[in-house]
Amino acid sequence: MTIKSTPNQTPRIYRVRNITQQEEERILDFLQGAVYLWCKDRPADWFGLRDFMGGANKNWHGTALQGLYDRHAVTMSPADSSRRAAIDGGRLLKRVLHADAREFEARKGYRTAEYRMLP
C-alpha cells in the first residue's frame, strides 16, 4: 500500500484533537525533518514513529513532541499518556508522509505501522 491517494484507495488520515494549530505545525515540522534525515541516510530502510519517538529518543522534553504527552498526562497515568501520545504521533506522521512529494510504501509492523520511501 502506498501512502499517496490512488484512484482505488485513499489512506485514512485522522486528526489529532486538543492541540493548538501552532503545536500541530511544530510537530509536523519536527516529524518532516526526521523523515528527511531518515530518507537521506537510510533510503531503503523501513521506519516507523518508534524510530523517531521511542528507544533512545523517548525523552521528548524540549521537543515539539512533548505536547502530545502533556495533554494526556493531565488525566492518565504516565504509561497510558505515553501510549496515547504515540498513537497521536503516528497519526501526525501519516499526515506528514501523505503531504510529502515523495511516495512511501506502508506495511503493518509489530504493533505499529512502518514506512519506506519508494525509489
What is the mean predicted confidence (pLDDT) over 3-13?
61
- Residue 11 is assigned to a structural domain of this protein: no
Domain extent for 33: 25-117
Q: What is the pLDDT of residue 2?
A: 57
- Residue 71 is assigned to a structural domain of this protein: yes
- Residue 15 is assigned to a structural domain of this protein: no
**By percentage, how much of the chain surpasses pLDDT 90?**
59
DSSP output for 69-102 = HHHHHTTS-HHHHHHHHHHHHHHHHHHHHHHSSS
Q: What is the pTM of this model?
A: 0.87
- Residue 14 is assigned to a structural domain of this protein: no
- Residue 4 is assigned to a structural domain of this protein: no
| pLDDT digit string, tens, across residues 78-87 | 999 989 999 9
- Identity at 55, one-letter amino acid code: G
Q: Looking at the 3D structure of the chain, how many domains does it have? A: 1
- Residue 100 is assigned to a structural domain of this protein: yes
| pLDDT digit string, tens, across residues 14-28 | 888 888 999 999 999
Q: Is the Cβ–Cβ distance between 28 and 36 less than 8 Å?
A: no
- The DSSP 8-state label assigned to residue 16 in this structure reads P
pLDDT band (50, 70, 90) for residue 61: confident
| pLDDT digit string, tens, across residues 63-77 | 888 999 998 999 999
